[in-house]
Every structure is written in C-alpha cells, then in structure tokens.
Amino acid sequence: MRGFPLLMAAAAGLALLIAPGPIPAAHAQTEVALTIENNRFQPEEIKVKAGAAWVLVITNKDKGPEEFESKDLRIERVIPAGKTVRLRMPALKTGAYGFVGEYHEKTAKGRIVAE
Amino acid sequence: MGATFVITLREAFEASLILGIVYTYLDKIGARDQYRHVTLGGVLGLLASVGLGVGIGFLSGPLLDLGPDLITAAVIFLAVGLLTWHAWWMQQHARAIRGHVQLRIDEARATQRLWIVTLIAFTGVFREGAETVLFLWGLMAQASSASGWANVLGGVAGVGTAAALGWTIFRGGHHLSLPHFFAATTVLIMLLAAGLFSTGVGRLQGLGFLPMTDALWDTSWLLSDRGLVGGFLGGLVGYRAQPSAFEAGAYALYLVAAGFLLFGHLFAAPETNGQPAAERTPARRD
C-alpha cells in the first residue's frame, strides 16, 4: 500500500509527460467531437481518415457518468458527468469499429468508420 | 434490472475470485486469524475506487485525458506481478511439503508475506472498482422512478452474486489437501493472470503505446464475451471473443513463462532428490 501513492504520482507524472499539451506536434491531429446526451451518442457514426492518428473529444452532457467502451479498439473510459475527455486515437485501418456506452448499452451505441 | 445485474456481476466477478484465492489460501495454511489482512486490502481497494470515482470528476485537462487510463493499466500489471509472485511462493511451499523438508509454516516468513496478500486484495478490488462504483452511482443519480430503483437493485444484486460465486468456488477447495490446493490454485492464478496480462497489453494498444492489430479470430458468434457465460470465462481464464494478435500472444507468452517458472521443476529434476537442491536453495535463503 505504501507503494500506492507513489504509483498514483508516477502515473500522473507519466500522464503529464506524454499527454498532448501545448506541444506543437499535437495540433496536426484531426479532432472529432462526440457528445453524450440522453444516454445516446451524437453523432452515432464518426467518419475518420484511415491511417492517420486523431483525437476523439467526448463530452458528456448527461447528469450521470458514462463509460465509452470499444472492444474493437481496446478502450474503456469513464466520462464523468459534464466533462470533456480527449482520447488520442491510433491510426486505424479501413473498416468499422463499434463502440457503446457501457452504462446504457441499449441506447448508447455508435461506430467509427475509417476510410 | 437484468442488464445492470449482468454488468456489475461481470465487473465484480474477477475481484471476488481474487479475494477468494487469498482468503482460502490463509484458511488452508491455518492462518484464519490473518483474514483481516485480506479484508483490509479489499476495503482499501473499495475506498480507492470511490476516491478515484469521485476524484475523476474534479480532474481536467491532460490529467483527466490520460491519468485514469494509466492508473488502470498500472494496476493491471501490478496485479499480474503480485499474483505470479504469490503462485511462485505457493509452489515453493508445496515443494517443501512434498520433500518433507519443512512441514511447518515459517511463521515469521508467512507474516512478512501478509502485506502481499493485502496488496493482492487491493488490486483485485481496485481494478474494476472505480468503474463499478461510478456505474452504481450513476444509476442512483438517475433513479427517480420505480424502474430506476429496480436497476439499482439489480446492480447491487450483481455485486452480491459475484461475491457469493467467488465464495462457493473456494468452498470447493476446502477439502483438498494442501499440495493439491496449491497446485489447483496455481493453475487458476496462471490462467487468471494470463487473462489480465493480455487485457493489459490490449489496453496499451488502446492507448497507442502498441500498434493496433486486427482481431486474430472472432468467436463472438459462438460465445460473446459481453454475456454472462463469456464474461465469467473472461474473468476466470481470460476468454476474449476477438483477441488481437498482441493479446493472444501476450496470453501465450505469459502461460509459457509462468508455466516454466512455476512448474519447470517438474520437468527439470526427474529422479534424484539431492541433485536439484542447488537450484532450489535461492528460494529458502531469505
């Protein structure tokens, strides 16, 4: 347990190091916005260019948290209520990649199409 | 209600398995009075989960973008390391018993190891704890109607059922002899840790630290890993319906490495009892 605060500090430090901050290179990447509202994604289909890294900017406008989950992309990410999270996305091959809001799987569904 | 039940059951199952492993371990070595070390780890894991769940609401910028993902990935690999260490230690102990070298448990050494048991319980609960806490929290925040409360009830029942299942599985280990229990648990830990390791590697892919690869195969038509059975197998042996090459490779690599580490002696030293002693001594030196 003594290691835990250390772990948190290390993780935070690492986050600061590799996070896309005011580093010029980060500007080159396309940003795509995705909104969560009424337990649904808007838009439900995102089109991106295949082969180029990009940034997915998810805003949760609902009162409760949502988990953006994509089994295809190995991403599981909680978006707290009212917050915006920027996820750095890898360059994708041509194809469709599904995602869901795990906390409201019935309504919150969508897919990313890389072409 | 059913959907929330499945979600929390799936999330909490792995934690209950891990807690089951360490509780039963203490029971089997006759250290039931040390249960509190596991309980402490579990409670701390729960507190950390609530802390992270609440804390992430206050984060912003790069810390919110990447911090939680890095913590999750770190906890996964920490859990793999701790579980492997625990299994290795059990194997050493089992061999000592088999060779009639040392029948009694070295109290001091066992006590020194208790913080590992605490840490294992902590990582087991914390790994998916924050997600589960946030999920239940969100359900409660939106529970204004009767069906809303039914959802909350389903979520809580899911956690309870997971705990009961973990407990039941380890009741089964109760009448095994110590060496058999150690062997069975070691195999279970290997499979569980292999699954965790492959999950961790998948997360690194998702974070962009490793390149994306296509799914190696797709068995979701046969058994989806989002359902109840597939979810259980996911927690138990790391079943994945569409593993990437990295995930499948990591799983296999872990099994081979851990198998060599934990069971290598079975193949290395066939007959003589005295010969392989040199290879064993490092385990007993501390």
The Cα of B91 is separated from the nearest Cα of chain A by a number of Å equal to: 25
Backbone φ and ψ for B2, nearest 5 degrees, come out as -60, -40
Q: Are B57 and B146 in contact (CB under 8 A)?
A: no
Report the alpha-carbon distance of residue B138 to residue B49 in Å, rounded: 14
Q: Are B155 and A77 in contact (CB under 8 A)?
A: no
Number of independent structural domains in chain B: 1
Give the start-to-end residue ranges of the domains of chain A. Answer: 28-114
Report CA B70 to chain centroid distance, whole Å. 18
Report the alpha-carbon distance of residue B267 to residue B49 in Å, rounded: 42
The Cα of A72 is separated from the nearest Cα of chain B by a number of Å equal to: 8
The Cα of A83 is separated from the nearest Cα of chain B by a number of Å equal to: 8
Per-residue pLDDT of B155-208, as tens digits, reads: 899 999 999 988 887 777 777 888 888 888 899 899 999 999 999 999 898 888
Report the alpha-carbon distance of residue B101 to residue B113 in Å, rounded: 20
Parent domain of B37: 2-285
Residue A30 tokens read as 């396309």
Mutate to test the interface with B, among A18, A68, A74 (most CBs of B within 10 A): A74
One digit per residue, pLDDT tens: chain B, 286 residues?
677 888 888 888 889 988 988 888 888 877 788 888 899 999 999 999 999 888 887 887 778 888 888 888 999 999 999 999 889 888 877 777 666 555 455 554 565 678 888 999 999 999 888 888 888 887 887 766 777 788 888 889 999 999 998 888 777 777 788 888 888 889 989 999 999 999 999 989 888 888 877 788 888 788 887 777 887 888 788 888 888 889 999 999 999 999 998 888 777 655 544 444 444 444 444 4
Q: Do A64 and B64 touch (CB under 8 A)?
A: no
Per-residue pLDDT of A36-76, as tens digits, reads: 999 899 899 999 988 888 899 999 998 888 989 888 888 88
Q: Do A15 and B67 touch (CB under 8 A)?
A: yes
CATH of A28-114, one of 3.30.230.80, 2.60.40.420, 1.10.287.470, 3.40.50.720: 2.60.40.420
* B93-B95-B100-B105 Cα dihedral, nearest 10 degrees: 0
Q: Helices in chain B by DSSP H: which ranges?
A: 2-28, 35-55, 62-98, 107-112, 114-141, 146-171, 178-206, 228-237, 245-268, 277-285
CB contact A78 to B (< 8 Å): yes
Which residue in chain A is spatially nearest to B41 when comparing CA positions? A1
Predicted complex: ipTM over 0.85: no
CB contact A22 to B (< 8 Å): no
Count of CB contacts below 8 A, A vs B? 120
Under DSSP, is residue B33 helix (H, G, I), strand (E, B) or coil?
Answer: helix
**Which H or E element spans position A15?**
helix A3-18
